[in-house]
Structure 1
Amino acid sequence: MGAALCFNSLESLLRDSASGFLAAVSAAPAPGAADLTNFHRVFSRVLSAYPDPPLEAVWFFSALTFHDRPDDLRSLLQLLSAFAASSPGAAKPLALLAPVISELFHSDKTRRETEALVEAVLSYISICSSRPAAVSTDGASTDAGRLLPAFGELVKVWSVRHSRDRCPFQVLFPLVEEEARRELMKEGCSVEYLAGVVVAEAFLLRLCLKVQNATGASRSDLQKELRIWAVSSIPIFQNQHFFGVLLNMLMNSPLPIYSLLSADDEILVRDVLYDTLILVDYSFINKVAGVDQVDSTLLPIYLSRLIITLDAVNDARRKGDQGRAMSFINAFSTSNVPNYLIKWATCQAGFGALSKPIANTPQALIKWLVDLEDKGLKVFGDNSSWVKGRLIYDEVKNGYGNRMTHSDADLFFIDKQSVGEVMDTKGSEGEEAVEMETAGNAFMAAAQSMKVETNGIRKRKGCLNEDAAGVKFVKYKVEDSSVKDYYLSGNNGMSSGSEVENPQSDDEMEESD
């Protein structure tokens, strides 16, 4: 450790300094009045000892600086990006942004200022995401570092201004669900996972601001605009952990944006995320999953996608939108997910030891995997009981029971070519209406014996632990005027929110960058 020249243990120094910081802030006669001069001096020496300073040391030093100017988020973003300039990969620069997202969430700045800063953050994320993966001489990713055990103390430092006796992780990470926070609380959590959480929060915050700013727009037009923006953005970020965090959010209700939006708007955002995460196969995920490969790192993502697809189908049926339900089923059955899960389970159980599921529909595949769990194969891990209860409830609520085999088989063997047009999101609204009606009729003909009303089970848990120079961010191109001429140290203009063309595919969009 570079700092070993001056200090016996960076871990010990961080813990003692965090404790001293919290005590000084608590004893100060007024907010911002604490004397933190000694901390500044010590951590200036610490940071100078590293060519690429540890995330935790940068966080503490930036907390000291921000304490002196608590409303200057632009300078905070500049400071954090300057310290990340020497990082070889993308994970650490993205992970460093967590305090910025938190402060934007808790800030009382005007919507114009907030939107401008969020656009700057997304621009910076897009620049970092385009960096090639950094690898060491042995071929291992240098982004695969772990957070120090003192990370939890640094979370307390950054959450003290807004804690109000709440869990510090809930304060610093307000836009993710409890499962993500529990992962961050684990000792040795990966920096890559923290980066994925930060990107997911920035993504959701921008979606919420778009909804808040959409006065006078029809719900259908707004949903279409949000869907185009989201589908365009995800390949730019190309972050596997970010994708997984978004999927896991959808397995809980409500989304962690309920403090920013009304109940109806939360449902709108949920529908946009269903469309975005289910109807599109993103190459940055599929490139990892080769045709004949079973990469175990994808298992949590594909299991989550399986579960939320069933939720999305049931939600569409409950609303009487059979065409949309058929879109989800068709997209899932033709994606890599069923084949991947079947291959994974076959490899785990031994080649040739398993019969195949009756269909590639979400319901059939979940039932098949639950049956394998009952025979001893570990599939859903700690969520096993929850998934089984969800499946039983779903079957009883929908009246499948013993008819499930017949219903799912009929559903799967609908002519995909005749209903494939429903997946085309580039047609006019009139064409979409015709396609949805056609798919709805096909769905009803194939599943006429199935009840369509459902009401999914959701789970919700509380927090478990109470205890340089100006940077020009110009890569982010999702919106025409989002950051084209935006400088952190200058223009305060906000995004126009103009609509962009729906990309042919995320590969084409990546090439255009």
Structure 2
Amino acid sequence: MAAAAGSIVVDFPSMGSACCFPSLESLLRDSASRFLAAVSAAPDPDLTNFRSLFSRVLNTYPDPPLEAVWAVWFFSALSFHDSPDDLRGLLHLLSAFTASSQSAAKPLALLAPVISELFHSAKPRRETEALVEAVLSYVSICSSRAPAGGEGASADAGGLLPAFGELVKVWSVRHSRDRCPFQVLFPLVGEDARRELMREGCSVVFLAGVVVAEAFLLRLCLKVQGAAGVPRAELQKELRIWAVSSISVFQNKQFFEVLLNMLVNPPLPVYSLLSADDEILVRDILYDALILVDYSFINKGAEVDQADSSLLPLFVSRLLITHDAINDARSKGDQGRAMSFMNAFFTSNIPTYFVKWATRQAGFNQLSKPAAITPQALLKWLVELEDKGFRVFGDNVSRIRERLMYDERRNGYQSRMIHSDADLFFIDKQNGGEVMDTRAGEDEEAAEMETADYAFMAAAQSMKTNGMRKRKDCGTEDANVVKFVKYKVEDSSVKDYFLSGNNGVSSGSEVENPQSDDEMEETN
């Protein structure tokens, strides 16, 4: 092999003569095609030439560029093909290659085959758990490298090569030639994430987030599998603490967004690992960990003040799962849990973000305001913005409409029953009519549909003092539970926009919920 003017010259014995490749990517693409052809022709092909070639290629890169990272994928696939049970060796090979890298995303992205092989492995659960723990420990180490525009940031900003799809086929061929290769290699994420990975120009940072999400979800499922006989409530509390701790340590926004999207688009991709009841438990744990905790790496004050449009998909997903979690808790008759979710929403920066984003798009005086400060009302408001030409939900807008229509039909009877309790809520219709354009009849109807949520939030506020006293009087039963960290809206104009005419609720919160990541660092 020799390189000149950016070209790579390779002498494959099977070619009969030297072959010149214009780039490392073209070499990868050609080698992947030859590998797949060799595996298809014989169950145990001779891969000596491939290993020798890529061993020389990789030895030329002490600090590998992005193309060389994918060369590692190919080289590790060759090695693993001969020793398919050596998962620890595979993890060591992939992690050792980027040990000196200042990047955070490249080392994590490389681990995708490890998670896939662990998922498909028939190893005993205890051995699999040990390997997943090793992966998560490595994730924690890499997370500390996360660049904030400094050294390593340029490497993390790269996109996947066009040859990435061929490399996915190389790793998936051992398990199935009939299924989609991306489904085989990424078994623990939803279809939306896979489509993003297939998209030309997908970022390495996103792939890293997918890998972290898969490792996290696999470990969570294994913990549930190994907890036979443990009371459900105790297990949920224990795993919620573990989930919150892990999210706080990883501080990976893409990982967080992948988890959100899994919940937005059910079912969770764990059907082959857990029973239906256990899947519900995992979903409840994720609801708690993603909604009830104020993570500083998500709620960046400057970004929220600017209403950065790049954060729109993340905030839409947070709004949707909060809405779903509240409805799920109510359907189970768990009003206390539903109130915790509602309270977390009300004290979060979600409403603030959307009103600032919308006013940046259209201007402050050009918009109607939501009928109420609830997830359902905010979703309806955003659908109205979509109707006016603003891109909020993208291709998912029809799905959001169907979800809201279903909720209205399901909750209609309950709303009519609670409507008589007028003393529990207050709607300033006069003030609202002035701001909410000329659709007074429609707005009044929308407000009535939100009556249940108003009553619900007002009840939560009226109960908070007595509820807190009762819990404190119970001794050490809730000694380990801490208060949810309140998000303080600094922009008074936004508060006025939502709260013009007292709605009967305050922004304070005394619902006891899991800690924020900042609090956990302090208490640890």
Matched, 1:45 2:56: yes
Matched, 1:68 2:70: no
Q: Deviations over 1:240-294 (max 9, x none)?
A: 0000000000122221001000000001100111111111111111126545221
Per-residue deviation, 1:181:
0.2
Structure-1-length-normalised TM-score = 0.81
Partner of residue 338, structure 2: 325
User: What is the rounded CA distance, in whole Å, between the counterparts of 1:34 and 1:288 in structure 2?
Assistant: 56
User: What is the rounded CA distance, in whole Å, between the counterparts of 2:475 and 2:288 in structure 1?
Assistant: 17
Residues 94 and 125 of structure 1 are in contact (CA less than 8 Å); yes or no, is this contact kept in structure 2? yes
Change (3 A) 1:105 1:182: same
Per-residue deviation, 1:112:
1.2
Change (3 A) 1:359 1:512: same
SS at match of 1:283: coil
Residues 143 and 251 of structure 2 are in contact (CA less than 8 Å); yes or no, is this contact kept in structure 1? yes
Structure-2-length-normalised TM-score = 0.79
Q: Deviations over 1:86-119 (max 9, x none)?
A: 3212101000000000000000111111011000
Matched, 1:4 2:11: no
Change (3 A) 1:504 1:392: closer
Change (3 A) 1:134 1:47: farther
Give 2:394's match in structure 1, choosing from 359, 374, 381.
381
Change (3 A) 1:259 1:503: same
Change (3 A) 1:47 1:282: same
Partner of residue 12, structure 2: none
Partner of residue 164, structure 2: 151
Higher helix share: 2
Residue identity in the other structure for 2:178: D
Q: Deviations over 1:189-247 (max 9, x none)?
A: 10000000000000000000000100210111111111111011101111000000000
Partner of residue 197, structure 2: 184
Q: How does 1:265-284 map to 2 (within 5 A)?
A: 265-284=278-297
Residues 370 and 381 of structure 2 are in contact (CA less than 8 Å); yes or no, is this contact kept in structure 1? yes
Partner of residue 58, structure 1: 72
Partner of residue 368, structure 1: 381
Residue identity in the other structure for 1:183: E
Partner of residue 170, structure 1: 183
Residues 52 and 84 of structure 1 are in contact (CA less than 8 Å); yes or no, is this contact kept in structure 2? yes
Give 2:368's match in structure 1, choosing from 337, 344, 355.
355
Give 1:398's match in structure 2, choosing from 377, 400, 411.
411
Partner of residue 130, structure 2: 116
Matched, 1:419 2:464: yes
Partner of residue 46, structure 2: 35
Per-residue deviation, 1:55:
2.4
User: What is the rounded CA distance, in whole Å, between the counterparts of 1:115 and 1:239 in structure 2?
Assistant: 22
User: What is the rounded CA distance, in whole Å, between the counterparts of 1:3 and 1:250 in structure 2?
Assistant: 49
User: What is the rounded CA distance, in whole Å, between the counterparts of 1:171 and 1:59 in structure 2?
Assistant: 16
Partner of residue 255, structure 2: 242
Partner of residue 427, structure 2: none
Change (3 A) 1:134 1:72: farther
Structure (1 or 2) with the larger CA radius of gyration: 2
Question: Among the aligned pairs, what percent are the same residue?
Answer: 72
Structure with more relative contact order (C-alpha pairs < 8 Å, separation 6 or more): 1
Change (3 A) 1:283 1:428: farther
Per-residue deviation, 1:2:
9.8
Residues 129 and 238 of structure 1 are in contact (CA less than 8 Å); yes or no, is this contact kept in structure 2? yes
Partner of residue 206, structure 1: 219
Give 2:516's match in structure 1, choosing from 482, 488, 505.
505
Change (3 A) 1:383 1:296: same
Q: Which runs of 5+ in 1 are unaligned?
A: 436-445, 448-501
Q: How many residues align?
A: 443
Residues 3 and 49 of structure 1 are in contact (CA less than 8 Å); yes or no, is this contact kept in structure 2? no
Matched, 1:264 2:309: no
Q: Which runs of 5+ in 2 are unaligned?
A: 9-20, 416-444, 483-502, 505-512
Residues 364 and 408 of structure 1 are in contact (CA less than 8 Å); yes or no, is this contact kept in structure 2? no
Per-residue deviation, 1:417:
7.6
Partner of residue 125, structure 1: 139
User: What is the rounded CA distance, in whole Å, between the counterparts of 2:301 and 2:215 in structure 1?
Assistant: 24
RMSD of Structure 2 on Structure 1 (CA): 2.9
Partner of residue 228, structure 1: 241
